[in-house]
Structure formats: C-alpha cells, structure tokens
Amino acid sequence: MCWIFAYKWDKEASSFLLEWLKNLEYRWYDSAWICEINNSWEFFLEKAVWKVSNLASKVENLWKDLTWFNTWIAHTRWATHGKVTLENTHPHYSKNERFFIVHNWIIENYIELKKELEEKGYTFYGETDTEIVAKLIEELFEIDLETTIKKVFKKVTWAYAMAVIDRENPNNLIWVKIWSPLVLWISENEFFLSSDANALARFVKNYVNLDDWEMVVIKGDNYKIISLDSGLSLEKQSESITYNEDNYSLWDFTHFMEKEIFQVPEIIDNFIKWRIDFESLEIKSNTLEELAAKDFKRIEIIASWTSYNAWMTASYLFEELASIPTTVYVSTEFKYKKKFINPETLYIFISQSGETADSLESLKVVKNKWWFTFWIVNVVGSSIARLSDLWLYTHSWREVWVAATKSFIGQIWVLLIMALYLGNKKDLEYTKYKEIISSMKHLRDDVSMVLLNSNKIEEIAKKYAHYKDLFFLWRNIHYPMAMEWSLKCKEITYNHTEAYSAWELKHWPLSLIEDSFPTILINPEWKLKEKNISTLKEVKARDGKVVWIITKWDENKNLYDDVIEIPQTIEELSIFPVSVALQLFAYYMAKELKREIDKPRNLAKSVTVE
Ligand code: M6R
C-alpha cells in the first residue's frame, strides 16, 4: 500500500518534486524514492527509508547539476510485503534494469507469479510483490510498453495503480488504474499524475480523475487515455481543485493534531452558518429533503474505526430522534457477510478520506445489487464520493495527519443533523426538535470552553500517560465516545486502553480493576447520573483510580482522583464538548510520552488496501 506520483515536464522541477512527495507523506511514511530519466537515457535514482526529509537530504546536493531530467516517478511507501528496508523500498526494476515501476495496492497472486518467474530463471532482491511486476514486464515485453502492460494487467490480480517507465524510451510513461485512486493533470507538454489530488493542489487548478480499468499512455508530448475493458480511447472531463494554504500550514501549533482540534470552534461556526436557520428553526438541505421523501424504514451503516465510532453514536441519535432502527457494521466485516436485500433499507457509508478500501469495496458490493446508497465524506471528489447515489460532505476542511479529530466532529454533526431532519418529518416531538436546534447557538462556546480548559486537561493527561492500561467506561450515547477516546489513545500513545459500556463492568471488566489500571468515567447531569455514581463506587471499592468527567461538581469529590469539567449542554449536543475533551486528553498523553503524534508508528492516513 503506497502512494505514487509521476511527472513529465520540460522544465527544471526538482524542488517541486520533493514538495509533492512531502504532500503525499501524510498518507505513508515508511520510505520514499525518486527515479528520473532524460532524453539521453541518463538516469538518476535515489531511495531512503522513513521520512521524505531523509530522501531530501540525500538528493538535494546531488541535484544541483541534474536539473535536466524530464521524466520522474516517485513514491512514498507503507510496507505490506517485506520490512522497511532499502531493498524493499521502491522503485522496483526488471532484471535487465530497463523497466522501473511505482505501485500502490497489493498484487494478490504474487506468489504464483513469482514461482512462474523463478522457473524461468528470475531471481529477486527483495520481498515485495511490486518487484514481481517489474520482472513480469521484462518477461512479457513485446513491441512497446503499451502492448506489454496490457498483457501484464491480464495476469496480475487484484487491484492496483501503477506507473511504469522504460529506460530505452524515456519519453514514454504509462499509468494504469485498475482500482486505487489516481488523478492526472495535463497542460501543453506537461503531465502530472498522483494518487492524491491534494498533493498537487498548490500547483494545479484542474485534474482528470481516472476511473477503474483505465490506462494513460504518454508518448513524447502526446497522451491518450484508454479503457482497458474496451481498448477504446476516452475523452474525460476535468474537475477543479482549490488550494487553501491554511490547510497545509501548522500555524503556531506543535502538531497538526493539536491545530486540528483547536480548529473545531471555527468548523462549528461554519456548520451552523451552512445548515441552520435559527429564526425559522429549519435545517437547510435539499439532499435531506430528497432523502426524507424516500421514507426508508431501516438504516444500515458501514464505516471503519473513527468513522464507525461516529456511526455508533449516530445509531443512538437515529433511533431516539428519527425512530429508525439502525444497524452499524465495521466495513471490513460487511463486505464478506451475507446480505439480505431489502428495498426499504438505506445503506449509508461514512469515511473521512473517502478512500478506505474496506468501505469502498463494501459500497461497490451494495451498488452491484442496485441498492440505494448514501455517503458522508470529508474529502471532496474522493472515490467513495464518486460512487454513491446521494451524499453530504462533512466540510471539516483538510485533515492532514493520521489521527482523525475534526473530521470526527464533522461526522457527528452531519449525523445529528440527519437524525433531526428525518425525525422532524416523522414523529419527533417539536419541543425536543426546537430545544436541540436552539441550543446549537451555544455549541461553539461550549467547545471553546473545553479548549480554554486545555491546561487542566494536559495536567491530568500527563499523569495518566504513565499508566500502561486505562479503562473507559461510559454509558448510552457516550459509550461510542468512550470507544473513540480509547482508539485515539491507543493510536497515538501506544498504551493499552479498553472501552466498555459501564453496564458491562460487573460482567467481567471488574476483574482487571486495581490501583495501576485507572478508569475514566463520564457523568454529566443526564438521565443515567445515578447509575454512573454506582459505577464510580464499584471501581473505588476495588482501589481503582478514577478520572471523573462531569458537567457539575458533585458530592462525590472524595471518591474520584481527578476531574475534568465540561460545559453543561443538552444530552444530544454533549457529544461535541466531550469529543474535544477526549481528543485533547489523548493528544497530551502522547505529547507527554514524546510520541511522534502526527505520524504514529505503522499507520497511514488512509487505508487503501484490504
Ligand atoms: O478515512 P476513513 O474515515 O474511512 O478512515 C477510517 C479509519 O482508517 C480511520 O478512522 C483511522 O482509524 C484513523 N486513523 C483514526 O484516527
């Protein structure tokens, strides 16, 4: 699973090239490489493991005299097959060192192909599946790269995007998209290709999105896009992309995660301006009007991790406010489980990136059955966004690094709005509807209060960062929040945390409670307050430490060890200040542990392989 980038131009562009690679690094950061070639067949190749800055320091000096290279392929890797070593770092090349390849995704039949090639005398220097394709190109070579690649793609399964150059024809470049994202930008005699349109946003205004089973062939200054199914050339419309410097700059923050959490009040302002009319108390959305008219009787929701936790939260909202029975699936499981066709069921997909392979694959399965699909995505124009029937964007602006924070807020906002809209069209009491909408006026201030309290949250997080295990025990709509908090802590601190519904405590989690295994418990002023106090007492009776998250100081002062205060809101809106508090808590724990917060080990921003 990697991110690829290719480029053909007649001008000097080495400095841009590193910048583009850095822009792709938020996707993967196990290793990076660059490979360049010029019209005289001269060739330059450099690789480095881990960050793009390691590659930059290697090549910047060498590049001074090499500005005449005009065809580049480059790549950032997230290791699937083989460790993070220079041998496994791309580019992978054929035995005769003529064909060089960048590749994203996994070749599923690589063992079989490797065996075939070994029988023909090929040997392999690394452990990757990509190297097999490079050698296969050499083995199947016939006439030119275009003819050969068509033969190769028939033998290689499953899904991938790749770029290939032929050292003997330096003006030829081939890009193939079988499945994973790939965009193309063309202007006169300049060609750019990237797995991610955002990496180019600063430099280009329009791009062409390649669909599955398409191939771009560049020969000199000419190009064509071919359908691999029909063999025909295609005319494709370009789409526009906007660049906002704010999304790429860290401002005065230490990490992007911190910046993105502190952006939440502004994002909330934006949400409210966009959707809520406080005078008429109406939610403004033609999309929701269209959806409500379809009158679905059930909802099935498919998403992965943080997006899944947003959906778990939403299932409480959909059932409570809109009276629609809702089932949530983690997308990895959904694709392969038996499905029951029901035209009255609405399938909703949610994803920050819109590229998560499991969610995208599940969406394709549902689409293939002609079921109606709805999606909620943050990245405009992403793959999931292109395939669904109806959609809403979360409008949380670009989220740069791995931990999903502000996009989670965007997701729960859209879901709350959906539940309220659909509920209002059905049997939600108008007084309840009105109470929630009117209370949204204070949402920005409530979240800002949590941010103003960040020093206190940091102080407590520093203390708990040094416990290797933590429990999160919350109830009802806050239970999925606990799951999200637990995920965030694990993801960036590498500490062990577990989240359970507090009802579960007596079934078994109690056996783990001891002095060194603290519990984070939430107890706002809502319907389950007394039950939460019982849980607090049960934990304390076993010498467990408790961080008590409350909206109001109470008489249990002597029981808890630390307290985080959040503003009192109505229950349905509490998920916003609670989320921000939990994101800050996880962030400060990781900071105390000196983790590389924006690039947690082994992870990537979006998981584009199954
Ligand atoms: O882009 P998606 O929302 O589809 O991504 C789903 C998960 O990969 C994502 O939530 C991941 O777990 C985040 N790193 C969590 O912070």
The first and second tokens of residue 252, run together, are 């005065």
Whether the predicted pLDDT of 66 surpasses 60: no
CB atoms within 10 A of CB 7: 23
Whether the predicted pLDDT of 583 surpasses 60: yes
For residue 402, the ligand 1 atom closest to its alpha carbon is 14
Å from CA of 306 to ligand 1 middle: 5
For residue 605, the ligand 1 atom closest to its alpha carbon is 14
Question: pLDDT higher for 39 or 444?
Answer: 444
Of 30, 20, 12, 4, nearest to 604 by C-alpha is: 30
The first and second tokens of residue 293, run together, are 């008219």
Query: If you average pLDDT over each of 37-51, 69-83, 154-168, 350-364, which comes out highest?
Result: 350-364
Of 147, 150, 113, nearest to 131 by C-alpha is: 113
Nearest CA to ligand 1 atom 6: 304
Whether the predicted pLDDT of 68 surpasses 60: no
SS3 content of the chain, % helix, strand, coil (to 5): 40, 20, 40
Å from CA of 356 to ligand 1 middle: 8
Å from CA of 484 to ligand 1 middle: 11
Instruction: Assess contact for 230 and 211: CB atoms under 8 A.
Output: no
State the catalytic residues: 2, 605
Of 373, 360, 271, nearest to 307 by C-alpha is: 360
> Worst-scoring range by mean pLDDT, 212-221, 551-560, 580-589?
551-560
pTM metric for this prediction: 0.85
Nearest CA to ligand 1 atom 10: 306
* Mean pLDDT of all residues belonging to the chain: 85
292 Cβ partners below 8 Å, 6+ apart? 421, 422, 425
- For a substitution probing ligand 1, which of 302, 306, 334 has the most ligand atoms within 8 Å of its CB? 306
Å from CA of 78 to ligand 1 middle: 16
Q: What is the pLDDT of residues 127-143, one digit of tens each?
A: 888 889 999 999 999 98
- For a substitution probing ligand 1, which of 27, 307, 379 has the most ligand atoms within 8 Å of its CB? 307
Q: In what order do the strands lie in the sheet with 172-177?
A: 92-93, 99-104, 161-166, 172-177, 214-219, 222-227, 233-234
> Worst-scoring range by mean pLDDT, 195-204, 300-309, 413-422, 560-569?
195-204
Å from CA of 307 to ligand 1 middle: 6
Instruction: Assess contact for 331 and 309: CB atoms under 8 A.
Output: no
Residue 571 pLDDT: 87
For residue 306, the ligand 1 atom closest to its alpha carbon is 10
Ligand 1, residues at Cβ distance < 6 Å: 304-307, 351-353, 356, 359, 402-404, 491, 606-607
The arithmetic mean of pLDDT across residues 509-513, rounded, is 88
Domains and CATH numbers, the chain: 2-243 (3.60.20.10), 250-447 (3.40.50.10490), 453-610 (3.40.50.10490)
- For a substitution probing ligand 1, which of 356, 394, 405 has the most ligand atoms within 8 Å of its CB? 356
Query: If you average pLDDT over each of 162-176, 330-344, 529-543, 571-585, which comes out highest?
Result: 571-585
For residue 403, the ligand 1 atom closest to its alpha carbon is 16
